[in-house]
């Protein structure tokens, strides 16, 4: 495997994580829902203003919980942007849903709300939207369409913790929202996630689904004298050691976000002229969106230019990556009738998008190296 002087990602590590993990070991509570899990729940509930936060073992599992809570049945349709990670829709397909792929906006690369009226049918149960790179989708339009048709909105906020739309926190619009604490995300515990619930009538069932379909939560609170199997469920609780790691990052969240903001803004300022001279699209952040500084990407003029830039950066010891084969042209997507040409913007962007190294510990000197390597790139075709 090639080794890179400047990797694409390094998991965020502040230092306090180690002490908190030691605390959780000393407290002899390393299964789920210990002291650190509770702190993380309270933090998310207070900071975001959601009714309930449940830490989960991943964002994928939080999405699976949302699909169970919605009682998704075979034949239900779920609309999802074609340009996202598979978990956004796989969680619903696991319950029997038929995916309906929406194209994305050419500016923010978010689900294109103008496509929704043509995709909604009387079988549509949910819209799963993704705030790509932590920049909000057009929530006014989406929420009003969803309301008119009685469709549930699930926000896949894996990129978008602390981002806002017109001053309101993302993850508070949909019935549910999901977060990821995978090591590539702004805040991490290695593997982890959260389900955020905005409809308080669903909290109790959420607790049951997360506890293997049992009413163990009520038992621990002394509300029933034994616990038993009461519903579908699975094991979605992370160890309190992981919550201890995450807690250190929540405590340091202002520092993490401030540093990410510096890195993002530096890329954006320094690349502006280069991008306009060479027909490269930089991220669009509408004035009414406060973004989360999750990633910095370029959209190159062609697939061949992207391939050449990746190689050039690699020759300079820098790892840059691309992502998201559009879902409509994936093997699974094709089984549901997806085909090339259905989502032209997603298909075109997927061929041309490049993500630059972006992590909390990226040193200014390393970022300089990335910027000079880009400035020295010449093979546009
Ligand atoms: C990372 C990511 C996920 C999956 O997160 P896990 O915690 O790894 O399950 C889902 N959706 C989006 C948009 C992501 O970026």
Residue 219 tokens, joined? 């038992």
Q: Whose CA is nearest to atom 5 of ligand 1?
A: 59
CB of 320 closer than 6 angstroms to any ligand 1 atom: no
SS3 (DSSP) at 123: coil
| Whole-number Å distance between alpha carbons of 196 and 186 | 17
Per-residue tens of pLDDT for the chain, all 381 residues? 457 999 999 999 999 999 999 999 999 999 999 999 999 999 999 999 999 999 999 999 999 999 999 999 999 999 999 999 999 999 999 999 999 999 999 999 999 999 999 999 999 999 999 999 999 999 999 999 999 999 999 999 999 999 999 999 999 999 999 999 999 999 999 999 999 999 999 999 999 999 999 998 888 888 888 889 999 999 999 999 999 999 999 999 999 999 999 999 999 999 999 999 999 999 999 999 999 999 999 999 999 999 999 999 999 999 999 999 999 999 999 999 999 999 999 999 999 999 999 999 999 999 999 999 999 998 777
Dump pLDDT digits (tens) for 292-315: 999 999 999 999 999 999 999 999
| Whole-number Å distance between alpha carbons of 360 and 280 | 25
Instruction: List domains and CATH numbers for the chain.
Output: 16-251 (3.40.640.10), 253-375 (3.90.1150.10)
Distance of CA 87 from the midpoint of ligand 1 (Å): 6
pLDDT for the residue numbered 373: 98
Sorted by sequence, the CB contacts under 8 Å of residue 66 that are 6+ apart come out as 91, 154, 176, 178, 195
* CA gyration radius, the chain: 21
Of 336, 355, 350, nearest to 133 by C-alpha is: 355
Dump pLDDT digits (tens) for 183-237: 999 999 999 999 999 999 999 999 999 999 999 888 888 888 888 999 999 999 9
| Whole-number Å distance between alpha carbons of 31 and 102 | 40
pLDDT for the residue numbered 265: 98
CB of 193 closer than 6 angstroms to any ligand 1 atom: yes
Mutation test of ligand 1: which of 9, 55, 59 has the most ligand atoms closer than 8 Å to its C-beta? 59
| Whole-number Å distance between alpha carbons of 326 and 101 | 9
pLDDT for the residue numbered 220: 86
Q: Which atom of ligand 1 is found nearest the CA of 191?
A: 7
Please give the distance of CA 52 from its chain centroid, rounded to a whole number.
Answer: 18
Distance of CA 89 from the midpoint of ligand 1 (Å): 11
SS3 (DSSP) at 221: coil
Distance of CA 375 from the midpoint of ligand 1 (Å): 32
Contact 313, 373 (CB under 8 A): yes
CB of 112 closer than 6 angstroms to any ligand 1 atom: no
Distance of CA 154 from the midpoint of ligand 1 (Å): 14
CB atoms within 10 A of CB 337: 12
CB of 178 closer than 6 angstroms to any ligand 1 atom: no
The DSSP string of 251-274 is HTHHHHHHHHHHHHHHHHHHHHHH
Beta-strand ranges (E) seen in 200-343 are 289-290, 297-299
pLDDT for the residue numbered 1: 46
Distance of CA 24 from the midpoint of ligand 1 (Å): 26
| Whole-number Å distance between alpha carbons of 136 and 169 | 10
């Amino acid at each position: 495997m090639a080794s890179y002087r400047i990797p694409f990602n390094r998991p965020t590590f502040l230092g306090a994580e180690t002490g908190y993990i030691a605390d959780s070991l000393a407290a002899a509570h390393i299964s789920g829902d210990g002291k650190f899990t509770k702190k993380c729940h309270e933090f998310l509930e207070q900071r975001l203003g959601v009714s309930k936060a449940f830490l989960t073992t991943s964002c994928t599992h939080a999405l699976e919980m949302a699909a169970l809570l919605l009682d998704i049945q075979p034949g239900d349709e779920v609309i999802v942007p074609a340009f996202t990670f598979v978990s956004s829709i796989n969680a619903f397909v696991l319950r029997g849903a038929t995916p309906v792929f929406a194209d994305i906006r050419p500016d923010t690369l978010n689900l294109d709300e103008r496509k929704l009226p043509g995709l909604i049918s009387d079988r549509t149960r949910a819209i799963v939207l993704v705030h790509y790179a932590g920049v909000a989708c057009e929530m006014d339009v989406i929420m009003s369409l969803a309301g008119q048709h009685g469709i549930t909105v699930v926000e896949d906020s894996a990129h978008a913790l602390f981002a806002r739309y017109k001053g309101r926190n993302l993850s508070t619009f949909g019935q549910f929202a999901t977060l990821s604490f995978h090591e590539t995300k702004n805040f991490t515990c290695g593997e982890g996630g959260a389900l955020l619930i905005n409809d308080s009538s669903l909290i109790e069932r959420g607790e049951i689904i997360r506890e293997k379909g049992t009413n163990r939560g009520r038992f621990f609170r002394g509300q029933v004298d034994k616990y038993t199997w009461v519903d579908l469920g699975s094991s979605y609780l992370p160890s309190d050691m992981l919550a201890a790691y995450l807690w250190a990052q929540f405590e340091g969240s202002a520092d993490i976000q401030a540093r990410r903001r510096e890195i993002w803004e530096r890329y954006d300022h320094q690349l502006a002229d280069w991008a306009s001279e060479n027909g490269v699209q930089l991220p669009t952040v509408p004035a009414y969106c406060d973004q989360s500084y999750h990633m910095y990407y370029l959209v190159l003029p062609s697939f061949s230019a992207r391939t050449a830039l990746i190689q050039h950066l690699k020759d300079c010891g820098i790892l840059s990556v691309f992502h998201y084969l559009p879902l409509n042209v994936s093997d699974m997507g094709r089984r549901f009738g997806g085909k090339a040409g259905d989502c032209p913007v997603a298909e075109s962007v997927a061929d041309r998008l490049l993500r630059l190294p972006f992590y909390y510990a990226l040193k200014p000197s390393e970022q300089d190296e990335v910027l000079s390597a880009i400035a020295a790139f010449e093979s546009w075709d």
